Chains A and B, each alone.
Chain A
Amino acid sequence: MADIKSVEGMIDSTPIMKDYADIESSKLPEYQIDSKIPEGPIAEKWTNYKAHQKLVNPANKRNLDVIVVGTGLAGASAASTLAELGFNVYNFCIQDSPRRAHSIAAQGGINAAKDYQNDGDSVYRLFYDTVKGGDFRSREANVYRLAEVSNNIIDQCVQQGVPFAREYGGLLANRSFGGAQVSRTFYAKGQTGQQLLLGAYASLNRQIEKGQVRSFNRREMLDVVIIDGRARGIIVRNLVTGELERYAAHAVVLATGGYGRTFFLSTNAMGCNGSAAIQAFRKGAYLSNLAFTQIHPTCIPVHGEDQSKLTLMSESLRNDGRIWVPKKKEDAEAIRAGKKKPTDIPDEDRDFYLERRYPAFGNLCPRDIASRAAKERCDAGYGVGTGNAVYLDFKYAIDRLGADVVRDRYGNLFDMYQMISDDNPYETPMMIFPASHYTMGGIWVDYELQTSIKGLFAIGECNFSDHGANRLGASALMQGLADGYFVLPYTLQNYLSDQIKVSRSTFDTKHPEFDEAEKGVRDRIARLMAIKGTKSPDQIHKKLGHIMWNLVGMGRTLQSLVKAIEELKEVRKEFYTDLRIVGSADDLNTELEKALRLEDFLVMARMMAIDALHRNESCGAHFREEYQTPDGEAKRDDEHYMYVSCWKYTGDDEKPILLKEPLKYEAIQVQTRNYKS
Chain B
Amino acid sequence: MENTISVNLKVWRQRGPKEPGQFVNYHLDNVSTGSSFLEMLDMLNQQLVDQNEEPVVFDNDCREGICGMCSLYINGHPHGPVQGITTCQLHMRKFHDGETITIEPWRSAAFPVIRDLAVNRNAFDQIQQAGGYVSFNCGGAPDANATPISKEVADVAMDSATCIGCGACVAACKNGSAMLFVSAKVSQFALLPQGQVERKRRARAMVKKMDELGFGNCTNTGACAAECPKNIPLSNIARLNREFIKAKCAD
Does the CB pair A270–B63 fall under 8 Å? yes
**Which residue of chain B is the closest to A158 with respect to CB atoms?**
B144
Among A95, A152, A161, A191, residue most surrounded by chain B Cβ atoms (within 10 Å) = A161
Does the CB pair B36–A104 fall under 8 Å? no
Q: Could you tell me the distance in whole angstroms from the C-beta of A532 to the nearest C-beta in chain B?
A: 9
**Chain A residues within 8 Å of B66, by CB:** 104-105, 191, 193-194
Among B55, B135, B138, B188, residue most surrounded by chain A Cβ atoms (within 10 Å) = B138
Chain A, range 190-216, C-beta contacts under 8 Å to B: 191, 193-195, 198, 201-203, 205-206, 208-209, 215
**Which residue of chain B is the closest to A160 with respect to CB atoms?**
B134
Does the CB pair B63–A309 fall under 8 Å? yes
The CA of A161 and the CA of B65, in the complex, are separated in Å by 22
The CA of A100 and the CA of B154, in the complex, are separated in Å by 23
Q: Could you tell me the distance in whole angstroms from the C-beta of A292 to the nearest C-beta in chain B?
A: 24
Q: Is A530 an interface residue when CB atoms closer than 8 A count as contact? A: no
Does the CB pair A203–B69 fall under 8 Å? no
Q: Could you tell me the distance in whole angstroms from the C-beta of B71 to the nearest C-beta in chain A?
A: 10
Does the CB pair B68–A99 fall under 8 Å? yes
Per-position 1/0 for B114-140, Cβ under 8 A of A? 110010111011001110111111111
Q: Given A97-B124, A163-B161, A205-B128, A158–B141 Cβ distance below 8 Å?
A: yes
The CA of A60 and the CA of B192, in the complex, are separated in Å by 37
The CA of A588 and the CA of B115, in the complex, are separated in Å by 8
Q: Could you tell me the distance in whole angstroms from the C-beta of B245 to the nearest C-beta in chain A?
A: 22
The CA of A95 and the CA of B62, in the complex, are separated in Å by 11
The CA of A539 and the CA of B139, in the complex, are separated in Å by 48
Chain A, range 155-170, C-beta contacts under 8 Å to B: 155-170
Q: Is B204 an interface residue when CB atoms closer than 8 A count as contact? A: no
Does the CB pair A116–B138 fall under 8 Å? no
Does the CB pair B165–A97 fall under 8 Å? yes
Q: Is A81 an interface residue when CB atoms closer than 8 A count as contact? A: yes
**Chain B residues within 8 Å of A582, by CB:** 48-49, 52-55
Per-position 1/0 for A458-496, Cβ under 8 A of B? 000000000000000000000000000110010000000
Q: Is A9 an interface residue when CB atoms closer than 8 A count as contact? A: no
Q: Is B57 an interface residue when CB atoms closer than 8 A count as contact? A: yes
Does the CB pair B138–A164 fall under 8 Å? no
Tell which of A97, A98, A159, A169 touches B141, judged by Cβ atoms closer than 8 Å: A159
**Chain A residues within 8 Å of B143, by CB:** 155
Chain A, range 138-185, C-beta contacts under 8 Å to B: 152, 154-172
Q: Is A54 an interface residue when CB atoms closer than 8 A count as contact? A: no
The CA of A575 and the CA of B125, in the complex, are separated in Å by 38
Does the CB pair B144–A155 fall under 8 Å? yes
The CA of A171 and the CA of B68, in the complex, are separated in Å by 30
Does the CB pair A161–B194 fall under 8 Å? yes
The CA of A162 and the CA of B121, in the complex, are separated in Å by 24
Q: Given A163-B158, A164-B154, A583-B54, A97–B121 Cβ distance below 8 Å?
A: yes
**Which residue of chain B is the closest to A584 with respect to CB atoms?**
B54
Q: Is B195 an interface residue when CB atoms closer than 8 A count as contact? A: yes
Does the CB pair A97–B154 fall under 8 Å? no
Q: Could you tell me the distance in whole angstroms from the C-beta of A437 to the nearest C-beta in chain B?
A: 12
Does the CB pair B34–A116 fall under 8 Å? no
Q: Could you tell me the distance in whole angstroms from the C-beta of A462 to the nearest C-beta in chain B?
A: 17
Does the CB pair B91–A419 fall under 8 Å? yes
Give the number of chain A interface residues (Cβ < 8 Å): 80
The CA of A77 and the CA of B138, in the complex, are separated in Å by 9
Q: Given A188-B158, A270-B63, A307-B35, A202–B133 Cβ distance below 8 Å?
A: yes
Tell which of A163, A312, A416 touches B89, judged by Cβ atoms closer than 8 Å: A416
**Chain B residues within 8 Å of A588, by CB:** 57, 114-115
Q: Given A163-B161, A205-B132, A306–B142 Cβ distance below 8 Å?
A: no
**Chain B residues within 8 Å of A84, by CB:** 137-138
Does the CB pair A159–B142 fall under 8 Å? yes
Chain A, range 68-107, C-beta contacts under 8 Å to B: 77, 80-81, 84, 95-100, 102, 104-105
Q: Could you tell me the distance in whole angstroms from the C-beta of B9 to the nearest C-beta in chain A?
A: 16
Q: Could you tell me the distance in whole angstroms from the C-beta of A184 to the nearest C-beta in chain B?
A: 13
Q: Given A161-B188, A171-B148, A202–B141 Cβ distance below 8 Å?
A: no
The CA of A536 and the CA of B65, in the complex, are separated in Å by 26
Tell which of B34, B64, B142, B189 touches A155, judged by Cβ atoms closer than 8 Å: B142
Q: Is B97 an interface residue when CB atoms closer than 8 A count as contact? A: no
Q: Given A209-B130, A306-B32, A582-B54, A168–B64 Cβ distance below 8 Å?
A: no
Chain B, range 79-125, C-beta contacts under 8 Å to A: 84-85, 89, 91, 93, 114-115, 118, 120-122, 124-125
Q: Could you tell me the distance in whole angstroms from the C-beta of B203 to the nearest C-beta in chain A?
A: 15
Chain B, range 152-172, C-beta contacts under 8 Å to A: 154-155, 157-158, 161-162, 164-165
The CA of A188 and the CA of B132, in the complex, are separated in Å by 19
Q: Is B149 an interface residue when CB atoms closer than 8 A count as contact? A: yes
**Which residue of chain B is the closest to A485 with respect to CB atoms?**
B138
Chain A, range 257-272, C-beta contacts under 8 Å to B: 269-271
**Chain B residues within 8 Å of A154, by CB:** 144
Q: Given A168-B151, A202-B134, A304–B114 Cβ distance below 8 Å?
A: no
Q: Given A208-B129, A306-B39, A105–B67 Cβ distance below 8 Å?
A: yes
**Which residue of chain A is the closest to B162 with respect to CB atoms?**
A191
**Which residue of chain B is the closest to A308 with respect to CB atoms?**
B39
Q: Is B38 an interface residue when CB atoms closer than 8 A count as contact? A: yes
The CA of A166 and the CA of B144, in the complex, are separated in Å by 11
Does the CB pair B69–A308 fall under 8 Å? no
Tell which of A164, A311, A419, A583 touches B85, judged by Cβ atoms closer than 8 Å: A419
Q: Could you tell me the distance in whole angstroms from the C-beta of A416 to the nearest C-beta in chain B?
A: 7
Does the CB pair B122–A97 fall under 8 Å? yes
Does the CB pair B133–A203 fall under 8 Å? yes
Chain A, range 265-305, C-beta contacts under 8 Å to B: 269-271, 303-304
Q: Is B61 an interface residue when CB atoms closer than 8 A count as contact? A: yes
The CA of A590 and the CA of B61, in the complex, are separated in Å by 12
Q: Is B241 an interface residue when CB atoms closer than 8 A count as contact? A: no
Does the CB pair B151–A167 fall under 8 Å? yes
**Which residue of chain A is the closest to B161 with respect to CB atoms?**
A163
Q: Could you tell me the distance in whole angstroms from the C-beta of B164 to the nearest C-beta in chain A?
A: 8
**Which residue of chain A is the closest to B166 with respect to CB atoms?**
A100
Q: Could you tell me the distance in whole angstroms from the C-beta of A489 to the nearest C-beta in chain B?
A: 7
Does the CB pair B46–A536 fall under 8 Å? yes
**Which residue of chain A is the closest to B2 with respect to CB atoms?**
A303
The CA of A206 and the CA of B131, in the complex, are separated in Å by 7
**Chain A residues within 8 Å of B91, by CB:** 419-420, 422
**Chain A residues within 8 Å of B188, by CB:** 161, 163
Does the CB pair B144–A114 fall under 8 Å? yes
Q: Is A580 an interface residue when CB atoms closer than 8 A count as contact? A: yes
Q: Could you tell me the distance in whole angstroms from the C-beta of A583 to the nearest C-beta in chain B?
A: 5
Closest 9 CB pairs of A and B: A170-B148, A159-B141, A202-B133, A163-B158, A155-B141, A158-B144, A163-B157, A269-B61, A303-B34
Residue contacts A-B, CB under 8 angstroms, 7 given:
A100-B69, A155-B144, A159-B142, A161-B192, A164-B144, A311-B63, A588-B115
Residues of A whose CB lies within 8 Å of any CB of B are 77, 80-81, 84, 95-100, 102, 104-105, 114, 116, 152, 154-172, 188-189, 191, 193-195, 198, 201-203, 205-206, 208-209, 215, 217, 240, 269-271, 303-304, 306-309, 311-312, 415-416, 419-420, 422, 485-486, 489, 536, 538-539, 580, 582-583, 588, 590-591
A166-B151, A205-B129 given; 7 more Cβ-contact pairs under 8 Å? A102-B62, A102-B67, A170-B148, A172-B145, A270-B62, A538-B42, A590-B55
